[in-house]
């Protein structure tokens, strides 16, 4: 059996602003990429919420979901995710309920419990709100209720939103969301594209504790995969240096625009920096067609994931599309 052929492939876009480019350029590139992914048969295209980062243009996530859904026809579009502590559940329900009415059966609502930003920006987003560990499960439950058909006597109704039953996913890089997704019978997406350390433990916990629900009869696991594909391993490694530079900046607390690739970037790094980048990208698949196929197959054999969510940060937009072409070809070989 071809494991890749039987696995759904999707894409997560942080809408990178490239060095020398503009936010408008980044948004246009995201739409072209989504249209290309749709043509290749990808299942969904998600946008990630981040704030106060000069190299990422996806802060207004619901607005971007509408932009991408409006420019495509079939592919599911959603958030990967909305950082729920930054928003009141009613506001999220109304925004995604509106999207669901505009684009029926095409909208996903992925939820995270991290702020997706630094402390000062978090305070600006939340004002005086103090978050506790109990808030996220309570807010998820409230969102489920707001998106469900209204019940007799229900006083708070999301309009639009009520009755749309937008699919809710829980996202995470730790065990907390894995347990909550299992308890509530929701699909689970693990953020192995930037925090792979607990991947196997989290999805094992999710599967072992899963309780069937009206939403989902069996566990459903999606994993994030940094992906750089090129005709040769050498070219893929060169193109991946843009991602390496971004990761190094994150590790040093320095956020910048996506940089052009440079030759032999990793060779210039201190051994500790190389090790840190390798840890961050432990789930990455980087290489030519055979390497990509082998890497994705190995991930599936290790995780038994139902779906792979690719994160493909390549500086040249045309080469990014080519990378997706190579992945699609690997599915059918």
Domain assignments of the chain as residue spans, ordered by start: 1-166, 224-333
The end-to-end CA distance of the chain, in Å, is 11
Retrieve residue 161's tokens: 């939103």
Q: Is pLDDT of 187 > 80?
A: yes
* Distance separating alpha carbons of residues 193 and 224, to the nearest angstrom: 5
- Residue 97 pLDDT grade (very low, low, confident, very high; cuts 50, 70, 90): very high
Q: Is pLDDT of 36 > 90?
A: yes
SS3 state of residue 285? strand
* Distance separating alpha carbons of residues 321 and 42, to the nearest angstrom: 13
CATH number of 1-166: 3.20.20.30
Q: Is pLDDT of 209 > 80?
A: yes
The rounded mean pLDDT for the chain is 93
Retrieve residue 144's tokens: 């489920």
**Would you state the pLDDT for residue 120?**
61
- Residue 133 pLDDT grade (very low, low, confident, very high; cuts 50, 70, 90): low
* Distance separating alpha carbons of residues 32 and 15, to the nearest angstrom: 11
Q: Beta strands of the chain (E only): which ranges?
A: 8-13, 44-47, 76-83, 107-112, 168-172, 188-190, 221-229, 285-287, 307-311
**Would you state the pLDDT for residue 129?**
59
Mean pLDDT, residues 70-78? 98
**Would you state the pLDDT for residue 255?**
85
| CA gyration radius, the chain | 19
Q: Is pLDDT of 243 > 90?
A: yes
Q: Is pLDDT of 89 > 60?
A: yes
């Amino acid at each position: 059996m071809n494991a890749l052929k039987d696995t759904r492939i999707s894409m997560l876009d942080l809408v990178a602003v490239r060095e020398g480019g503009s936010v408008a350029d980044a948004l246009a590139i995201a739409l072209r990429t989504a249209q290309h992914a749709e043509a290749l048969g990808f299942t969904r295209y998600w946008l990630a919420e981040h704030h106060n980062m000069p190299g990422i243009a996806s802060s207004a996530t619901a607005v971007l979901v509408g932009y991408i859904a409006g420019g495509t026809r079939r592919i599911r579009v959603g958030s990967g995710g909305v950082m729920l502590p930054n928003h009141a559940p009613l506001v999220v329900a109304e925004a995604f309920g509106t999207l669901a009415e505009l684009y029926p059966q095409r909208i996903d609502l992925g939820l995270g419990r991290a702020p997706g930003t630094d402390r000062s920006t978090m305070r600006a987003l939340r004002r005086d709100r103090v978050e506790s560990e109990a808030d996220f499960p309570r807010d998820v439950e409230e969102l489920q209720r707001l998106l469900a058909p209204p019940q007799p006597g229900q006083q708070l109704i999301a309009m639009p939103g009520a009755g749309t039953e937008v699919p809710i996913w829980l996202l995470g890089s730790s065990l907390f969301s894995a347990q909550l997704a299992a308890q509530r019978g929701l699909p689970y997406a693990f953020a192995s594209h930037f925090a792979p350390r607990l991947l196997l433990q989290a999805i094992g916990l999710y599967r072992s504790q899963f309780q069937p629900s009206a939403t989902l009869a069996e566990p459903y696991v999606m994993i994030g995969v940094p992906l750089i594909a090129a005709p040769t391993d050498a070219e893929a490694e060169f193109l991946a240096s843009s991602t390496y530079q971004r990761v190094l900046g994150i590790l040093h607390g320095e956020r910048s625009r996506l940089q052009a690739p440079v030759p032999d970037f990793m060779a210039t790094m201190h051994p500790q920096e190389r090790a840190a980048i390798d840890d961050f990208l432990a789930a990455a698949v980087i290489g030519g067609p055979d390497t990509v196929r082998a890497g994705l197959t190995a991930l599936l054999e290790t995780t038994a994931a139902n779906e792979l969510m690719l994160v493909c940060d390549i500086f040249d937009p045309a080469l990014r599309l080519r990378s997706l072409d190579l992945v699609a070809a690997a599915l059918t070989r």
